[in-house]
Amino acid sequence: MYIIKLIEITFFFFGFISGIFLYNCCMIIFYKANYQIKSAKVKYDSKLADELVKNVRIFCWILTHPKNHKTKIPHMKATWARRCDKLVIFSTETDKDDPDIVALSNLNGREHLWNKTKYAIKYVYENHINDADWFVRADDDNFFLIENLRHKLYQLNSKISFFIGSRFAINDSDISEGYMAGGGHAFSKKALKKFVTKLLLKEEICPTYDELAEDVFLGMCFKNEAIFVDAFDSLNQKQMFPVSIEEHMIEKIRDPNFWYWRYLWKNVQQGGLKCCSDLFISAHYVKPNEMHLLENLIYHVHPFGLEKNSSEELPKKLSMNEILKTSDVKSNSPNFIPHEIIHNFDEDEKFD
C-alpha cells in the first residue's frame, strides 16, 4: 500500500512539472508569433555609411595592460572596435586567447605611457602604414562611433598632416598649439609617417625621456608640423569627449578651477543638448557595461514613427582655407599663450 501511494505521488509531481514545462514552451511560441514585429531590429539604409567605408579606411590601436585583457578588451571588440578596418591592441604581454594583442615592452604603469606610445606608433608605421588612411589611438575605456568619425575624416585629406581630437591649451611656450587629450585622438597617414621618419629623430622637437603626460608630448612634437583639428561640428557643438558626456549634458554650475574647463581650447555650452553634437564621435571613461548600452541605444533602439532624415548627403571636402579658419584660432582658455602660427608643410603635402 505504501509503495502504491509513493508511485501515485511520483506520477503527480512528474505531471505537475511536465505541465509547467509545456506551458512555458507554449507561451514562448505565442510571444514569438505575436510580438515578432515589435522585437524586430531596425534596418538602416547604409548606402552612405558603406560609401564612407570605401573612402575612409581607419586603423585603430588601443593601449591596455594585462589585467584588462579579459575585463575590458572583449567588450570593446564586441561593440565599437569591430567597425575599425583593422585593429591592434598594445599591451606589455601577449595573450594566447587574443591574437590581436601585441606585446610592446615590459613597461607597465602610466609613468611609461610616452615610451609605450612611441613604440606603438613605430610598430603601426612599420607594419600597417599602407593598411589605412587614418590612425586612431584609443584607451581601453574609450567608445567611438566609427561612422561619425569617418564622416569627419572624409572632409580632410590624409596626405596632409592632421592631428584630430579634443584640444587642450597649456601654459607652456613649447606647446603653444596645445595638444589633443589622451582619451582618443586620430592621425592622418601623413602625420603618422612624419612623426616616425622626421619628428622622433629631432630631440629638440620630440622628447626622448619618458614622462607621464604622453598626450602633452605629442602636442609638443606636432607643434608647427601638423594641423590641429578640434573636433566640433558645423553647428559648433563638441564631438569628442575626453571626459564623460554627462559632465557636459547635466545642467550645473561649473567649477572654474576644475582642470578640464581651464584646459579646453574652445568653450563648450553646459547642460542640455546644445553642448554635444548629433554627430558624436567619442567618449572616455566608459565602463564595459556602458559600451553595450551605447551599442544598443545607437544601433538598435528606434522610436516608432520618428524616421531618420533621409536627405543626408556625404559632407563636402574642405579647402585648406576652410580648415585653417577653424584650426588657427586663439583659445579662450586661461592657459593660452599668444604666439605666431607656423605650418611646416613637407613638399609632398599637397592639398587637392
Supply the pLDDT for residue 255.
81
Supply the pLDDT for residue 32.
38
Supply the pLDDT for residue 343.
93
57-303+313-327 under CATH 3.90.550.50, yes or no: yes
Task: Name the average pLDDT for the chain.
Answer: 85
Q: Average pLDDT, stretch 264-277?
A: 84
What's phi and psi for 77, nearest 5 deg? -70, -25
Interval 206-217: pLDDT, tens? 988 776 588 999
Q: Between residues 24 and 277, which one has the greater pLDDT? A: 277
What's the CA gap between 93 and 132, in Å, rounded?
25
3 pLDDT band, cuts 50/70/90, is very low
Whether 335 contacts 169, CB under 8 Å? yes
Per-range mean pLDDT, top range of 68-72, 249-253, 347-351: 68-72
Q: Which of 109-113, 167-171, 249-253 has the lowest mean pLDDT?
A: 109-113
Distance of CA 43 to the CA centre of its chain: 24
Residue 113 burial by CB count (10 A; 0-12/13-18/19+): exposed, middle or buried?
buried
34 pLDDT band, cuts 50/70/90, is very low
Supply the pLDDT for residue 41.
58
Supply the pLDDT for residue 245.
79
Q: Average pLDDT, stretch 54-67?
A: 96
Supply the pLDDT for residue 108.
64
Supply the pLDDT for residue 203.
86
Which helix (DSSP H) or strand (DSSP E) does residue 217 occupy? Answer: helix 214-222
